[in-house]
Amino acid sequence: MSIPPELCARCKGYKRLCKLPRCPILESFQAQVRTYMRLRGLDAHGSTPPSILVGEFGYPKVKIYYMVPVGVFGDNARLYEDPVGWSIRGESLANIIKFRSELLSGEVQVSIDKPEILYEKEFGLAGLSVDPVDSEVKLAKPPIPTLRFDGLTKPLGPRAPANTIKITSNPKIPLQVEKIIWDDLKAVEAIRDLYFNNVDIYTIQRLLSLGFLGRIHRRRIVPTRWSITAVDDTISRILRSKLRGRPEVQESELYYNEYLGNRFLILVKPGPGRFEWIEIWQPRSFWVRSSSKPIIWRVEENTRGEATAMDGGFSAARLAVLEVLSRVNRIGDTIIIREITPGYYAPVGNWHIRETVRRTLAKPIAKNITIKELKDVIKTKIDYNPEDLISRIRLLRNEVKLTDYT
Amino acid sequence: MFKLHFKDATIWRNMIASVEKILDEGVFAATPDGISLRALDTSHVVMIDIFYPREAFIEYEVEGERVDVGISFSVLSKILRRAGKNDELVLGVEGNNLLVEFRGRGSRLFKVPLINLVYEKLPEPRIAFTVKAKMLGSIFRDTINVVKLVADSITFKAFEDKRLLIQGEGDIASTEIELSLEAQTLLEMEVESPDSAKYSVEYFTYMTSASRVADIITIQYAEEAPIKVDLEYTGGGRLTFYVSPRAE
């Protein structure tokens, strides 16, 4: 069976548009990656960074993967799950894959409507910690040495069912987090509180996924990939509503950056607050291996935050843009071009989009540029015909306004 | 003093449900003649123009020249969604609140804070329309619902023989709907020149709730110019949308 690469660029292993139970691209890829294991016997000791993944297969009975780097303790363990740090240091794709493959997972099956179990068993609390937490995982059988990939979450290393998981040091839980998990607050309100108290977004995602947020009797465990986009979208909605009625940015600014074989060219210009997301998948890049020409995927979002498609990558990027606009308290139209080169040979989660866009927006490479100048920039930065690309961008077209008719 | 008593709450419910999709907030101006609202969306692509004459109300009391009622449409729409089939609607102002009351089986009263907004009289767009077509609300709604299934743009094409062709062109599928006097899907049609124009279908989908309760819908457009969609309601009420053409 052949699957059109256009479908894969849109799906990214997430929506299973090909209707196969598991993504064949991911399956064939994971077998090629070697895992590194330091485990002898069935007892694994180490500090979780923290890194806890909630799976989605079998929902509402899902698996929780509690991850420890075997034999690595304290601050040294932080490296194994550190999206912000990885991004700042410019960690290579090979290194990130290596870290993830060294994380051993103990699996526990839980029912999503019983989040209190994670609390009682204490290991759920490790997920709230800002520092690594020493843990002991006793496995029921030797782990399978594979690495599993997914478009949204970080790769998942060798894993085996766990008999017991114990934490042996105290999790360091920030005060605001400690307070909020006992509040009978809707999840949306809790996320707002945490975010404006500067709790890191990855901690909020973990809190939501481990069932620590929401009205007390209605809490649920949420699969990690769902919680990632849920948190991105919730915070974006909050930021958007705060920006409503603010003045527009005064000049257009162009930004560029690249990381992990992904290039981002971002234009923020005066406008009422719309988004346009254009992905260019180069031939032989990850999801479109079989394609001989670049594949384009696009999402548009209007001023009310209604998008033409759900896309986890777009959600992550949009959040980073709205954060910057909120800082200057202005609205604007944003065009994000993401080019994926064959250098991005393994998907490691959408965190890198969020973090790269955040860093990209730190400093513009040009201001108030004309279409012609933009064409020249595209020529040097993006491997795609500039005329064709610009003609595809809706937000660059001359728009007819009703005020022109009075 | 501001008191409006209206026979059928569901009309306002559906009208505001459409307005809410386009405007966050706005000012109704109530004068001795009737109540009106004219506003542009944030991107200046859509304009909304409402007028409801005093004769359409069972009771209409407005003190002085004009009373301004600034309101958040998302809040108002949430409340109006509670309106049932046989409910009458009574609007009033008390202090800094808008009172919304449904009278049907018993009465339900809501208080909504008014927003302090400055009333601005916007000019009406001046467009020389070349095509005019009149149809029933249900036909308009069906047409939009079909086009939005397959396309993100909608094209109107008029022919001298009083036919109106509505096309939707999508990435995968496309659609074509023909309305005509002959098939009695149009009530009236005037063609000055056989023009065609293209718009984003998104804005038309916002009109579907309002068109559910409209008696007659009139569209007017010209080549590469905005379209005007008039929705007529019982008692002489009118809701008008102007939509800018799509830039290609």
Cross-chain CB nearest to B44 (options A273, A274, A401):
A401
Burial class (CB in 10 A: 0-12, 13-18, 19+), A220: middle
pLDDT digits (tens, 9 = 90+) for B31-59: 999 999 999 998 889 999 999 999 999 99
Task: Look at residue B170 and tell me whether its pLDDT is greater than 90.
Answer: no
Q: Residues A27, A87: one domain? A: yes
**Last residue of one domain, picked from the residues A141, A167, A193:** A167
The bridge status of strand A159-167 relative to strand A103-111 is: parallel
In whole angstroms, what is the distance from residue A283 CA to residue A272 CA? Answer: 35
Q: Residues A29, A156: one domain? A: yes
Residue whose structure tokens are 């410019």: A90
**CA of B232 to nearest chain A CA: how many angstroms apart?**
22
With an 8 Å Cβ cutoff, are A273 and B42 in contact? yes
Class of domain B131-243: alpha beta
In whole angstroms, what is the distance from residue A249 CA to residue A337 CA? Answer: 20
In whole angstroms, what is the distance from residue B135 CA to residue A73 CA? Answer: 74
With an 8 Å Cβ cutoff, are B226 and A397 in contact? no
Q: Which residues of chain A make contact with B45, given a CB cutoff of 8 A?
A: 399-402
Q: How many domains does chain A have?
A: 3
Q: A165-181 burial, b if ≥16 CB within 10 A, otherwise e?
A: bebeeebebbeebeebb
pLDDT digits (tens, 9 = 90+) for A58-113: 989 999 999 999 889 999 999 999 999 999 999 998 888 888 888 889 999 999 99
Q: Domain for residue A156, yes or no?
A: yes
pLDDT, position A35: 59
Q: Residues A236, A330: one domain? A: no
Residue pair B215/B185 in contact (Cβ under 8 Å)? The answer is no
With an 8 Å Cβ cutoff, are B43 and A398 in contact? no
Provide CB contacts within 8 A for A56, sequence distance 6+. Answer: A62, A223, A225, A226
Q: Domain for residue A337, yes or no?
A: yes
Q: Which amino acid is at B238?
A: R
Residue whose structure tokens are 């800018």: B244
Q: Domain for residue A381, yes or no?
A: yes
In whole angstroms, what is the distance from residue A227 CA to residue A221 CA? Answer: 9
Q: Which residues of chain A make contact with B127, given a CB cutoff of 8 A?
A: 405
Q: Residues A197, A157: one domain? A: no
Q: Domain for residue A172, yes or no?
A: no
Provide CB contacts within 8 A for A82, sequence distance 6+. Answer: A49
Size of chain A in residues: 406
Q: Residues A133, A228: one domain? A: no
Q: Residues A84, A116: one domain? A: yes
**Residues of chain A contacting B, Cβ within 8 Å:** 244-245, 271-274, 302-304, 308, 394, 397-403, 405-406
Which 3-state string (H, E, C) describes A139-189?
ECCCCECCCECCCCCCCECCEEEEEEEEECCCCCCCHHHHHHCCCCECHHH
In whole angstroms, what is the distance from residue A367 CA to residue A255 CA? Answer: 9
- Please tell me which residue of chain A has the smallest CA distance to B21: A304
**Last residue of one domain, picked from the residues A201, A225, A243:** A243
With an 8 Å Cβ cutoff, are B244 and A401 in contact? yes
Residue pair B7/B36 in contact (Cβ under 8 Å)? The answer is no
With an 8 Å Cβ cutoff, are B44 and A271 in contact? no
Q: Residues A154, A25: one domain? A: yes
Cross-chain CB nearest to A272 (options B42, B224, B226):
B42
Q: Residues A230, A147: one domain? A: no
Separation in Å, CA B243 to CA A399, B150, B215: 12, 20, 21
Element (H, E) at A339: strand A333-340
In whole angstroms, what is the distance from residue B194 CA to residue B157 CA? Answer: 7
SS3 call for A133: strand
With an 8 Å Cβ cutoff, are A402 and B123 in contact? no
Q: Domain for residue A174, yes or no?
A: no
- Please tell me which residue of chain A has the smallest CA distance to B123: A406
Q: Domain for residue A133, yes or no?
A: yes
- Please tell me which residue of chain A has the smallest CA distance to B25: A245
In whole angstroms, what is the distance from residue B208 CA to residue B154 CA? Answer: 15
Q: Residues A46, A122: one domain? A: yes
Q: Domain for residue A27, yes or no?
A: yes
Q: Domain for residue A51, yes or no?
A: yes
pLDDT tens for chain A, 406 residues long, are 567 777 777 777 777 777 777 777 776 666 555 556 667 778 889 999 999 999 988 989 999 999 999 889 999 999 999 999 999 999 998 888 888 888 889 999 999 999 988 888 888 899 999 999 999 999 998 887 777 777 778 888 888 999 999 999 999 999 999 999 999 999 999 999 999 999 999 999 999 999 999 998 999 999 999 999 999 999 999 999 999 889 999 999 999 999 999 999 999 999 999 999 999 999 877 777 777 889 899 999 988 888 988 899 999 999 999 999 999 999 999 999 999 998 888 888 899 999 999 999 999 999 999 999 999 999 999 999 999 999 999 899 887 888 888 7
Provide CB contacts within 8 A for A64, sequence distance 6+. Answer: A52, A53, A54, A55, A107, A108, A109, A110, A118, A221
Q: Which amino acid is at B122?
A: L
Q: Residues A23, A157: one domain? A: yes
Strands (E), chain B: 2-6, 25-31, 34-40, 46-53, 59-62, 67-72, 88-94, 97-104, 106-113, 131-136, 153-159, 163-169, 174-180, 188-191, 196-200, 216-221, 227-232, 238-243
The ranges assigned to domains in chain B are 2-113, 131-243
Q: Which residues of chain B make contact with A303, given a CB cutoff of 8 A?
A: 41-43
CB–CB contacts below 8 A, A to B: 53
Q: Which residues of chain A make contact with B21, given a CB cutoff of 8 A?
A: 304
Neighbour order of strands in the sheet with B106-113: B59-62, B2-6, B88-94, B97-104, B106-113
With an 8 Å Cβ cutoff, are B247 and A398 in contact? yes
With an 8 Å Cβ cutoff, are B202 and A244 in contact? no
pLDDT band of residue B248 (cuts 50, 70, 90) is low
When scoring B22, B43, B74 by the number of chain A Cβ atoms within 10 A, the one with the most, hence best to mutate, is: B43
Q: Residues A366, A283: one domain? A: yes
With an 8 Å Cβ cutoff, are B126 and A405 in contact? yes
The CATH number assigned to the domain with range B2-113 reads 3.70.10.10
The 10 Å Cβ neighbour count of residue B204 is 22
* Structural domain boundaries, residue A322: 253-396
In whole angstroms, what is the distance from residue A113 CA to residue A214 CA? Answer: 12
Structure token pair of residue A390: 């610009």
Q: Which residues of chain A make contact with B38, given a CB cutoff of 8 A?
A: none
In whole angstroms, what is the distance from residue A363 CA to residue A253 CA? Answer: 9
